[in-house]
Structures are given as structure tokens and as C-alpha cells.
Amino acid sequence: MINFNDYKVTELSPRLTARVTRLDGSIEEGTKDPYGLPWILEEGVAEYDRTLYTLVGAKAGDPHWPIGRHSGHHGAHTEAGKGHIDLWDYLPEDMKGLWEYPVDTFFGEASVFNFKELKPIETEPENYAVVSSGKEGEKVIRGQALQPEHFERVKEGDILIIASPFRGMEQPWLPVHTCKFLALEKKIKLLAVQYPGIMWESAHQDEEPHNCPTHRHLLGNNVPIAYPLVNIESLTSERCIYFGVPLNVEKMDATWVRALAFEEK
């Protein structure tokens, strides 16, 4: 049996404070996730026993969150391909939904990378995940592309956990050839990303099939992605046990997750 006293546990999911509308109409403000998405709740009461509950989401037209409902993509979550990127062309026919993976996809041995030595470099504006306009011949400071050689010590079937201390346009990023390498050659079973820290997606507006290579080549090849995570920088081991099991709800393209890392003491 596993002795958890032999492990240090690190919380990888950012803590959110929900914005709650109480029964009396008063509002308690909350916080937002690293992408600026809120967690919205509305208090209710079960009339048969007068217990309280909270509904996820707000009434449509709420000035803080007009759409009302919110998805499984708020806060730390795990997502898969089916039900999420189905509108795209040029995807494999065997792309799975999150509910179709064996549960051990979401926990197990993980290879940990904190790219603190991968400092930003001077380069052309187009040599980055997010292309910004600039003068012809202008040089800019941008994060470096993560290359296959950076991941040599990853074992086949590993969960891959990545982070860096850099922010904004200085974050390292994942180019298309590295996404293919991780999915098809290293055969990682899940990608867990600290954000901010890694600019893990790019080419959002490019024409298919050149758009969103991380979604396309990882989710498309049945490698789920967990993000936006925190505290990966605090891990001290090159390997750990990752645990981040999503909700067991069929047809949800993404569900919230509380991710943990277990390091041997």
C-alpha cells in the first residue's frame, strides 16, 4: 500500500473565490482565473428541507457575466478533443471525448520541466506563438520555442508537466513540430501546463489545418491537456506522481480538476 507520509504534496490548481449572488440579492465579489474567467454562483434553497445550495452560473443578462452559464473551461480544467474541436477539419476519426479515456490517463508518473534557464531572446516578431505587428527588420525580445531536444528525458507514456518563470511575450512556447513529437514519438498521455509560464498554444487565427497546433496534434491524437496550473515552479524533482482526475460526465468536453503533484521526500 502507498504510504502518503513518504510524499510531499503540491497543489497545482489555482484557488478561485466565487462571485456569489445570495438569496437576499446581495453579491459577494470573487476572483478570476489566470485567463480572466470568473467563477459565478447563485445561492438557492431546497424547499423540502431548507438546505442551501449554489447553482453554477448566473441569470442570463447578469452585468458581470451576461451569458449566464459557464463551461468546464473556467479555472483549472482538463479538456479533450471530441465535443471541443469538432468543427475543425483534418482531424482523426478516432478522437476521444474526455469521458472515453481510461481513468488512469489522468494520474501516474510524470516528467517535470521548469524552463528557468530558457531565457527570452532577440528575434523577428513572427518567430513567436503570438505574432505582433512591427517595423520591417525590427528585432523584438520573445520567449524561445520549446524543441524536441528539450524533452529527451521524457519516457514513453509519461504525463508531461511544464512551467517557466517567464511572463507575457517572454514565455517559452510550443511550436507545431514539438507538439507532433510529444504526441507521436514520446507518446505522452497527458500535458499539464502552468499558465502564465508557458505559451502553450499558437496560430489561433491561421487557416486549417495550420491553426492551433497544440489542440490539433495533442487533443487530435488523444492527449488531454490540463491547465491553467500553478506551483509547478516549486517542484524540486525531475519526476513525480501527477493526479488530476476530471469529473465522470459524458458529453462534457472539459471538466474542472484539482490537480496534485506527489514528490518523494
Looking at the DSSP assignment, which residues form a beta bridge with residue 225?
A: 79, 191
Tell me the residue type at 78. Answer: T
Beta strands at 190-194 and 225-229: parallel, antiparallel or unpaired: parallel
% of residues, the chain, pLDDT over 90: 85
**CA dihedral for 58, 64, 69, 74, sign (positive or negative):** negative
Give pLDDT tens digits for 147-204. 999 999 999 999 999 999 999 999 999 999 999 999 999 999 999 999 999 999 998 8
Domains of the chain with CATH codes: 17-71 (no CATH), 77-264 (3.50.30.50)
Contact 15, 228 (CB under 8 A): no
> pTM to 2 decimals?
0.94
The mean pLDDT value for 28-36 works out to 95
